[in-house]
Structure 1
């Protein structure tokens, strides 16, 4: 019957899956139906630790989740090296795909996923949660208003955190055979995505990594920076730094000809129930340059649900439309993922080439 909740299956018990279990429980149009791990014991342990309802089916393999005829959609928090194979398998089974980011090791792998989703008519979305927060829509109202904000000139983002020693010893992001992108894929994905968002998803004309790349002994990227350019004369530029070696920072600054927008927590809001940003319109220096003519305006945006639950709600709504009403999948989300992946690939190519300028 139309309006029935979307039944999710989760493939893999990574730490982020805990957050999505809660998000699925909070989303009004979704329910967790199945969880699959590499063994039933692992699935049972995850379910017990996270208080999953007894109604959730627990499987000892990933394939068993895909074989469950009641599963409408799957969430895949698997290592990056495994995502393409299992996302393609899910799509071919007719399951809608919510895929953790980075979406793939490179654009060629992502294209395989998107082609499989397109062939099966299933919805694809990556797990970039901040795009679904109402603050993001409010900021876009300002950024897209050229009369008020002006022409985009410069964007900067910093995404860092300093994990404990166990992370550096055991986490998949420290192992290039499991995740070839390290901090660039985990944190740089957000920065690149924010730049594309601010630029109306226009691809940059060129990118270049900066010579500050840090790797571990296995070759995993621990820290890196890059600059992106738009236009033949580089009229607009963006810079980012992402790192596992610095204190938590999630800064985003968007500067145009008539105004600027700043926030300190763009990927994960400091508070779950609301988030804010500062907008400064048409500021000038006062006489003697001893101050500004206007103060930044703090804009507070409340939210009824956490951003991850809003993401699940949006994804489930699209799945319901396809399942119950014969709608077509929403193309916006795979297009955003692919453009983000293309730019990320270009930054990785620049890093591997010794910070060469890479044209898109």
Structure 2
């Protein structure tokens, strides 16, 4: 049976929407159907620059996209402060919601979004692309193997990049009225998500802010970190920053094994990636070398991870449309747990001021 083609509308013309527009084009079960911006001219320029088909609908408002009966799902790369309004409205108009991260300013807002999606029977997913790469599933296999990895003891996660002066002054991610979570919401979301992934989404019992928190002139976070602690004693630490060289590392340490990946958010290559796994590593005599060197595990894919995300989302939407299935709860559950920890980190950072 032929795949159901899901028709996407895009709300907003942010830079990340260029990437997801391409992903929708590459996904075999999705198509670019409409784009809406606050001006028709901007939407037209975006559609022309990003390969929208000639038949695509171009709208000068977000409402027009949501009012189009042929739009099955919407991708929203809007500032976080606008997520509550537009995601709820999309759900009420029975459009499935692919929402850029961070999902909301806080878990109270996210709960309203998720309630609207659930009550209207639409699928929700946030835009954490790395979760959909086959490497992620392979890493989970290793972390779940008691013979190779053992029991989880600690996680370290880091996502930083060196923003230029224009970004630090003018980007929406440093504007308190648009993205008040700053670096914590933008790249910290990934760090927290990676830690929860490694911990099989068990929530920590406490959060401690690390020193060195940095705010810009408007009071928005540009660099921060925290430690998370669980009841059983395992710990995790993360750092995120707009003020340091590009780094996207995760290290997961168990009693028997160690996993390391250096490009977990955006792979160095789209078609071939790897992670390192060390099992019962130890030194040789006189500490002259390793008895067992960590091994590299290569994972290949025919589609980039953003297209894999769109394919996964569109498949869930198609199942709802075609078979009357219930929305998959895995993805909203992951988003909510990530948001809960993000809220706790933010509170810890504020207590430390």
Q: How would you bin the TM-score normalised by the shorter chain?
A: over 0.9
Instruction: Give yes or no for the alignment of 1:282 onto 2:292.
Output: no
Aligned partners of 2:237 and 2:35: how far apart in 1?
39
Aligned partners of 2:350 and 2:215: how far apart in 1?
12
Q: Residue in 2 aligned with 1:253?
A: 251
Query: Is residue 143–residue 149 contact of structure 1 (8 Å, CA) maintained in 2?
Result: yes
Query: Is residue 2–residue 324 contact of structure 1 (8 Å, CA) maintained in 2?
Result: no
Aligned partners of 1:2 and 1:264: how far apart in 2?
38
- Aligned to 2:211, the other structure's residue is in SS state coil
Q: Residue in 1 aligned with 2:211?
A: 211
Using the size of structure 1 for normalisation, the TM-score is 0.96
The count of corresponding residues between Structure 1 and Structure 2 is 353
Aligned partners of 1:48 and 1:7: how far apart in 2?
18
Q: Residue in 2 aligned with 1:66?
A: 66
Larger mean CA deviation between 1-10 and 106-115 belongs to 1-10
Aligned partners of 2:211 and 2:282: how far apart in 1?
35
How far has the Cα of 1:2 moved from its partner?
A: 7.0
Aligned partners of 1:343 and 1:161: how far apart in 2?
22
Structural mapping, 1:61-210, within 5 Å: 61-210=61-210
- After TM superposition, the runs of 4+ consecutive aligned structure 1 residues lying more than 6 A away are none
Structural mapping, 1:261-280, within 5 Å: 261-280=259-278
Query: Is residue 22–residue 50 contact of structure 2 (8 Å, CA) maintained in 1?
Result: no
Q: Residue in 1 aligned with 2:299?
A: 301
Q: Residue in 1 aligned with 2:5?
A: 5
How far has the Cα of 1:52 moved from its partner?
A: 2.0
Q: Deviations over 1:222-256 (max 9, x none)?
A: 00010001115xx1000010000011000000000
Aligned partners of 1:148 and 1:259: how far apart in 2?
6
Aligned partners of 2:172 and 2:326: how far apart in 1?
35
Q: Residue in 2 aligned with 1:38?
A: 38
Instruction: Give yes or no for the alignment of 1:22 onto 2:22.
Output: yes
Gaps of 5+ in 1: 356-360
How far has the Cα of 1:4 moved from its partner?
A: 2.6
Gaps of 5+ in 2: none
Aligned partners of 2:34 and 2:210: how far apart in 1?
44
How far has the Cα of 1:288 moved from its partner?
A: 1.5
Q: Residue in 2 aligned with 1:358?
A: none
Q: Deviations over 1:249-295 (max 9, x none)?
A: 00000000001010110000001111101000011222122222101
Query: Is residue 3–residue 324 contact of structure 1 (8 Å, CA) maintained in 2?
Result: no
How far has the Cα of 1:49 moved from its partner?
A: 2.2
